[in-house]
Amino acid sequence: MSGPIQAALLAQAAPLAASAAILLGLRRHPAAAAAVAIAALGAGFAASTYLVLAVANGSAMAQAVWLPMADGRGLAFGVLLDTLSTTMALVVSAVTLAVMVYSLGYMAGDPGFARYYGFLSLFAAAMLGLVLASNLLQTLVFWELVGLASFLLIGFWFDRPGPAAAARKAFIMTRVGDVGFLLGVLLLIRTLGNATIPELVAQAGPGGAFSPRFTAIVASLLLMGVIGKSAQGPLFTWLPDAMEGPTPVSALLHSATMVAAGVYLVARLHGLFAAAPDVMRVLLWVSLVTAVAAATMAMVAEDIKRVLAYSSISQLAYMLMALAAGSVAAGFFHLVTHAGFKALLFLSSGIFIHHAHSNAMREIAAHSPTRQRAATIGLVSGSLALAGVIPFSGYFSKEAVLATLGVHAGAAALVLAYLGAGLTAYYAARMVFLTLRGGQQHGSPTAPHPTLAQQAAATMMGVPVLVLSALTLILGWTGSWLAARLSPGAEPHAALELGAGPLTALALAGLGIALAWREYGAKGAARTGFVDRFPALRAFFADNWYLDRLYGASVVRAAGWLSRAARWHDQQVLDGAGDGLAAGTTRGGRMLARVQGGQVQMYVAIAVAVLVALAVWLAYAEGLR
């Protein structure tokens, strides 16, 4: 077994072992639990770094048979190391590590501290397993485990009704998509005999064994899973609710991990998806509509975490539209930069929330937020990256996405994408202004001197934020490296040329920010947005475009009705038939028992009557003879 393979196994096994150790043995030892979790993930991070350096091109795979199959060969699981998976592993482990360190401060003193680190480690193991999997079924396994871990993490404060309901919604809604994923994998295994990723990509590509029809069916089934997991199209409403979890969890789930898994899957199987152009067109339009729709929802949200959640949906849509338009490098580039700035935004907002004890932006503004230096820097730089302002990372990656669209997708798509970009700049700026400016100060002007523990906690939370802030300035320059790494053959896109495209995008971003400044930032601004002037529209946006109500009124109600109908049928019809049969038997027995009335004379009378009848019958029969 070569070094990279061992490193890849270590990267998955270390967090898994840490999780098992914490949940089984260290539940009462928070400090040890955190230490074990961070050490294990540190090992994973080191292994991933090594992998990125070791795997510069080509791919390596090691597999072992995991499941005997009808064809006698069995289904092999293992690790697939190539430029894509190793880069993703690095992003995942880096973000997770930042979140773990941050959580030392954020979650300090929580009664479930150890359990929290156990779940985080489980999540990290599942996510790394997903990234490094060599078999699509293995991907599915870890995909579901990521779903499970996110259920546990979103519902971490399970004794409050909100998180419990949100966790349930997230789990079930992503499962709706996963059913498609599972069917797709089953179909592949049925046809191919296995689901090894390079092989199925090769079979789907030109000269492969798959018919275009089959590829299209599989791709659309797999796409269901992507849409559920990456919170796209009609299946995104679980994500804003998932904000009920602890803020670091939101940072983890929404930056590089759970929701990015869908994007990663499309990148991983890009060969297969590219062979199904119709499906890709569907994905393109789904993601375009999602990008704009989620941006409109972010424009009216009052809760800072919900703004960020909608922005995640919207930004994921940008990644997917780049992939749908044909560029893995651009989509993945945006995934990387987004991982950095979205984690940063969540972690910064977490510091504000920690201080204000509220998620509402206007409430945070009232607690002199700018005194949180690190968080302020983080929020501003993260928002600039989100808005796509040069030279922050988001500008470069979004530019790459838009450039791809411009080349491959046509004008209509480009217009929608630009619209989304402008709205993004608007809601990002609105978030910054609402959070940081113009609140009435009702916190005590001289805050009590923080204790030593509080200072330590602040440091733990501040350091990852500052590191990530610095990264927003750095990650933008990795684009050409990534492009060369991921698709070495393709010519590097010209993101840095300030042509018409980038200027348009920058102008739109500036316009959005300026509008937000007029409405929210400037001295004496009304602090209401233009959408607020149309209450119906505002309600429409704020209520997830009424999708939740639609589901509540249709699918959920229908399921409840169907279930009650089945239950009624079971109790009244099937069980009733059984009971009825039993009751009928009993009643029949009673009726027959009445003959045995205990009256001797009745018995005698019957005996005589029968005898007489017999005698008459015999005589008659005799007479006939």
- Binding residues (CB under 8 A) for another protein: these are 65-70, 137, 140-142, 144-145, 148, 151, 155, 158-161, 164-165, 167-168, 171-172, 175-176, 178-179, 182-183, 186-187, 189-190, 559-560, 562-564, 566-567, 570, 574-575, 578-579, 582, 593, 596-601, 604-605, 608
Cβ nearer to another protein, comparing 169 with 342: 169
Shortest spacing between CB 203 and another protein, in angstroms: 18
Amino acid letter, 510: G
Shortest spacing between CB 578 and another protein, in angstroms: 6
Cβ nearer to another protein, comparing 518 with 567: 567
Task: Give, rounded to a whole angstrom, the gap between the first and last alpha carbons of the chain.
Answer: 102
**Which tokens in the block code for residue 59?**
């791919």
Which residues lie across from 82 on neighbouring strands?
59
Residue 60 DSSP SS3:
strand
Q: Counting beta carbons within 10 angstroms of the beta carbon of residue 193, is it exposed (0 to 12), middle (13 to 18) or buried (19 or more)?
A: middle
Report how far residue 485's alpha carbon sits from residue 497's, in angstroms, rounded to the nearest whole number: 21
Residue 65 DSSP SS3:
strand
Shortest spacing between CB 152 and another protein, in angstroms: 9
Residue with tokens 């880096």: 94
Cβ nearer to another protein, comparing 499 with 578: 578
Helix locations, 242-372, DSSP H = 247-254, 258-268, 270-274, 277-300, 304-325, 328-356, 361-365
Report how far residue 372's alpha carbon sits from residue 381's, in angstroms, rounded to the nearest whole number: 14
Cβ nearer to another protein, comparing 12 with 287: 12
Cβ nearer to another protein, comparing 72 with 445: 72
CB 186 within 8 A of CB 66: no
Kindly tell me the sign of the dihedral angle through the C-alpha atoms of 512, 516, 519, 524. Answer: negative
* 438: DSSP letter: -
Shortest spacing between CB 593 and another protein, in angstroms: 4
Cβ nearer to another protein, comparing 151 with 427: 151
Cβ nearer to another protein, comparing 160 with 549: 160
Shortest spacing between CB 511 and another protein, in angstroms: 43
Shortest spacing between CB 229 and another protein, in angstroms: 15
Shortest spacing between CB 569 and another protein, in angstroms: 8
**Which tokens in the block code for residue 316?**
């994921």
Other beta carbons within 10 angstroms of residue 499's beta carbon come to: 13
Q: Counting beta carbons within 10 angstroms of the beta carbon of residue 280, is it exposed (0 to 12), middle (13 to 18) or buried (19 or more)?
A: buried
| Cis peptide bond N-terminal to 391, omega within 30 | yes
Chain centre distance of CA 253: 7
Report how far residue 295's alpha carbon sits from residue 430's, in angstroms, rounded to the nearest whole number: 12
Cβ nearer to another protein, comparing 122 with 243: 122
Cβ nearer to another protein, comparing 46 with 165: 165
Cβ nearer to another protein, comparing 189 with 323: 189
Shortest spacing between CB 176 and another protein, in angstroms: 6
Shortest spacing between CB 324 and another protein, in angstroms: 26
**Which tokens in the block code for residue 283?**
């994905």
Shortest spacing between CB 35 and another protein, in angstroms: 22
Select from 72, 152, 142, 64 the least CA-distant residue to 112.
152
Cβ nearer to another protein, comparing 178 with 363: 178
Cβ nearer to another protein, comparing 56 with 581: 581
Shortest spacing between CB 134 and another protein, in angstroms: 16
Which residues lie across from 76 on neighbouring strands?
65
Cβ nearer to another protein, comparing 497 with 570: 570
**Which tokens in the block code for residue 115?**
């359990």
Shortest spacing between CB 40 and another protein, in angstroms: 18
Three-state SS sequence of 35-58: HHHHHHHHHHHHHHHHHHHHCCCC
Cβ nearer to another protein, comparing 411 with 592: 592
Report how far residue 294's alpha carbon sits from residue 286's, in angstroms, rounded to the nearest whole number: 12
CB 472 within 8 A of CB 393: yes
Shortest spacing between CB 580 and another protein, in angstroms: 12
Shortest spacing between CB 115 and another protein, in angstroms: 9
* Residues contacting residue 252 through CB under 8 Å, at least 6 positions apart: 95, 96, 99, 120, 123, 153, 258, 343
* Residues contacting residue 309 through CB under 8 Å, at least 6 positions apart: 239, 240, 242, 243, 250, 254
**The length of the chain, given as a count of residues:** 625
Report how far residue 216's alpha carbon sits from residue 209's, in angstroms, rounded to the nearest whole number: 13
Cβ nearer to another protein, comparing 70 with 411: 70
CA distances from 49 to 54, 90, 93, 331 (A): 9, 6, 9, 21
Shortest spacing between CB 244 and another protein, in angstroms: 12
